[in-house]
Amino acid sequence: MSRVTSVNPPVVEQPPRRHRRVRSRRVVSRVALYLAALAVAVFSGFPFLWMFLTSIKPSAEILTAVPVFVPSEPIFARYATIITGDFGLHLRNSAVVTAGTVLLSVGSAVMGGWVLARFRIPLRRYLLILVLAAQMFPMIVLLIPIFILMRDLGMLGSYPGLIIAYLSFTTPLVLWIMRGFFRGIPIDLEEAAMIDGATRAQAFRRVVLPLALPGIAATSVFGFNAAWNEFMFALTFTLNAPQRQTLPVALVQFIGRDMAADWGMIMAASVLFTLPVVLFFLLTHRYMTEGLVAGATKG
User: For the domain that residue 272 is a member of, what is the CATH number?
Assistant: 1.10.3720.10
Last residue of a domain, one of 26, 61, 96: 61
Q: State mean pLDDT over 208-217.
A: 84
Q: Is residue 10 part of a domain?
A: no
Residues 45 and 183 in one domain: no
- 263 pLDDT above the threshold of 70: yes
pLDDT at 173: 82
For residue 175, give the nearest of 230, 120, 127, 110 by alpha carbon.
110
Question: Using the 8-state DSSP alphabet, how is residue 136 labeled?
Answer: T
Query: pLDDT-based confidence at 10, cuts 50/70/90?
Result: low
- 99 pLDDT above the threshold of 90: yes
pLDDT at 220: 87
pLDDT at 102: 92
Q: State mean pLDDT over 266-271.
A: 87
Summary mean pLDDT of the chain: 81
Residues 56 and 86 in one domain: no
Residues 25 and 140 in one domain: no
- 284 pLDDT above the threshold of 80: no
For residue 72, give the nearest of 89, 85, 60, 80 by alpha carbon.
60
Residues 171 and 26 in one domain: no
Q: Which residue has the higher pLDDT, 258 or 47?
A: 47
- 104 pLDDT above the threshold of 90: yes
- 291 pLDDT above the threshold of 50: no
Query: pLDDT-based confidence at 288, cuts 50/70/90?
Result: low
* Contacting residues for 54 by C-beta, under 8 A, at least 6 apart: 62, 263, 264, 267
Dist CA 232 CA 152 (whole Å)? 20
| Residue 97 CB-density burial (10 A; 0-12 exposed, 13-18 middle, 19+ buried) | buried
**Range in 133-137, 154-158, 229-233 with the lowest mean pLDDT:** 133-137
Q: Is residue 4 part of a domain?
A: no
Residues 49 and 94 in one domain: no
Q: State mean pLDDT over 237-264.
A: 79
Report how many domains make up the chain. 2
pLDDT at 3: 53
- 116 pLDDT above the threshold of 80: yes
Q: State mean pLDDT over 174-203.
A: 85
Which residue segment(s) compose the domain that 56 sits in? Answer: 18-61
- Whether the CB-CB separation of 201 and 276 falls below 8 Å is answered with no
